Structure 1
Amino acid sequence: MNTKIVILDEDNIEQNIVNEAGLVIREGGLVVFPTETVYGLGANALDSIAVGKIFKAKGRPQDNPLIVHVSDFNIDHLVKEVPRIAKKIMNMYWPGPITLIFNKSNIIPSVTCAGLDTVGIRMPSNIIARKLIEAAGTPIAAPSANISGRPSPTDVESCIEDLSGKIDYILGGDKSEVGLESTIVDCTCTPICILRPGAITVEMLREIDDKVYIDKSIMSKPNKDFKPKAPGMKYRHYAPKAPVKIICGDLTKTIAKINEIVQTSIGNKKIGIMATDETKDKYPYGTVISLGSRKKLDSVGRNLFEVLRSFDAIDVDLILSEAFEEMGIGVAIMNRLKKSAGFDIIYV
């Protein structure tokens, strides 16, 4: 398949290009597009055949539901009801990096929701994404634009690497601002529940509902019979080619443990180390890449997937990562790290 690739200037968007990509969606094709979280691989959310192409292109398990992207607040035709708490969240955080789970209407095909009676919906803040949805004239179902299981793409180059030749159209823009997939909140239960942490944190949501909580299953390894209600809950995700191991505990002990592992592996393995600005000079051996500053965890989240992919490019044998405090966006960072490592964690 020949994949058309066009890169847009987000400050000067060529509407004719967006319209062309929108037509591809409307006619049942697949289009990569930027969002503020990560790049997405989109199809007409109401076309079961088109949605099926997403699973094939990504190699995605059929029981992993997709998120439906919209360009405005008019979602009544997509869901059975919009609870009052959901309206409050929408008014505060849409457009933005948060997905809400609703009981779906019959207009949403079963394949889009992996056979569930619920659907996740979000309104991205990225201008190209919203213009594409408007041009398509239909909500767009979209997971991240990568081969299933690999680190999610935060730039168009990563999308080209994974999907060129497998889909119809790649619509590029700037690097993703957030770098982590959207927060997912289940609004079908009381109190509401976070099914995937993200940039909209539990602390932020507790300003709306002080009873909101994080589903305990998302921070631990699920069993094989677990049925996911939202993307990213069941399978190993965000994984580079080399295995990832997390070193968790006191930072001084963490540094010492990483250095110990690297020194005992010299001559046998090429080791990558995911450090921070504060610690990157503490590792005399190994290939060290900083995720950003511990004082600005937003930057760590923004860089996480890009750094994981960087280690693929230099072909390391093992990746060792420092851990982060599970507060605020640190919860989302550790959720993605644990998934990328398959929950391989050394506590010190």
Structure 2
Amino acid sequence: MSDYKTEMQNCMETLKRGGLILYPTDTVWGIGCDATNADAVDKVYALKKRKESQALICLVSDYKMLNQFVEDVPEVAYDILKYANKPTTIIYDDPIRVAENLIADDNSLAIRVSKDKFSNELVKRFRKPIVSTSANISGEKTPQSFAQISPEILKGVDYVVNLQRSKQSGKPSAIIKLTNDGKVTVIRK
């Protein structure tokens, strides 16, 4: 079993060179990459066999980082996140400083403040958002454990984290769309 520090370093090196990682998050095992690197984001879409019109989620470490990558975070977002009783992803209008192919056609981006120790620290150290999309081919069932991840996904990433492999995954996050005009829409409970 590899140690935490080594795993963190291996992920950082992979992300910095535009590679893909397979890592545990606060919800399910995720495929990740540098959210500011369009070529890396393209690799995620290709591996998942997913259309670019189906946007991806990315993780940030805290509210300060959230504000660096969204033009104007509506105040209600902080209340939603403060009182959420499970991991919650919010779709924000007007993302900035991320790869263009990560931004949805309506100029929005789904972002979650990670609460998982490993993924949060990874994002914090990387100092940029990291893509976090479920470790499955688009349209297939989301793996509930590391053991359920398909060989195609395992072979398609550049680095697989060797931590928490026996842990059952949580459920995918709640997703809320929050527009700058204050409209709140629950996409997934």
TM (normalized to structure 1)? Answer: 0.50
Counterpart residue type for residue 97 of structure 1 = P
Instruction: Report how many aligned residue pairs link the two structures.
Output: 185
The correspondence of residues 1-348 of structure 1 with structure 2, limited to 5 A, is 14-74=4-64, 75-93=66-84, 96-159=86-149, 161-171=151-161, 172-173=163-164, 174-178=166-170, 180-188=171-179, 189-197=181-189
Q: CA deviation at 1:114?
A: 3.5
Q: Could you say which structure has the greater relative contact order, defined with CA pairs below 8 angstroms and 6 or more residues apart?
A: 2
Q: CA deviation at 1:177?
A: 4.8
Tell me, yes or no, if the aligned pair for 2:53 and 2:104 is still in contact at 8 Å: yes
Tell me, yes or no, if the aligned pair for 2:29 and 2:169 is still in contact at 8 Å: no
Output one character per residue of 1:22-65: Cα deviation in whole Å (capped at 9) or x when no partner: 22112110001112321110010011111110001111112100
Counterpart residue type for residue 177 of structure 2 = D
What is the alpha-carbon distance in structure 2 between the residues aligned to residue 182 and residue 23 of structure 1?
Answer: 27
The alpha-carbon distance between structure 1 residues 130 and 106, as it changes in their structure 2 partners (threshold 3 A), is: closer
The alpha-carbon distance between structure 1 residues 131 and 176, as it changes in their structure 2 partners (threshold 3 A), is: farther
Output one character per residue of 1:117-140: Cα deviation in whole Å (capped at 9) or x when no partner: 111110222212112222333210
What is the alpha-carbon distance in structure 2 between the residues aligned to residue 42 and residue 167 of structure 1?
Answer: 9
The alpha-carbon distance between structure 1 residues 89 and 105, as it changes in their structure 2 partners (threshold 3 A), is: same
What is the alpha-carbon distance in structure 2 between the residues aligned to residue 159 and residue 137 of structure 1?
Answer: 28
Tell me, yes or no, if the aligned pair for 1:39 and 1:176 is still in contact at 8 Å: no
What is the alpha-carbon distance in structure 2 between the residues aligned to residue 121 and residue 105 of structure 1?
Answer: 10
List alignment gaps of at least 5 residues for structure 2.
Answer: none
The alpha-carbon distance between structure 1 residues 135 and 154, as it changes in their structure 2 partners (threshold 3 A), is: farther
Counterpart residue type for residue 128 of structure 2 = T
CA-based RMSD of the aligned residues comes to: 2.0
Q: CA deviation at 1:88?
A: 0.7
Bigger-Rg structure (1/2): 1
Output one character per residue of 1:247-298: Cα deviation in whole Å (capped at 9) or x when no partner: xxxxxxxxxxxxxxxxxxxxxxxxxxxxxxxxxxxxxxxxxxxxxxxxxxxx
> Post-superposition, which runs of at least 4 consecutive aligned residues in structure 1 deviate over 3 A?
none
Q: CA deviation at 1:113?
A: 2.1
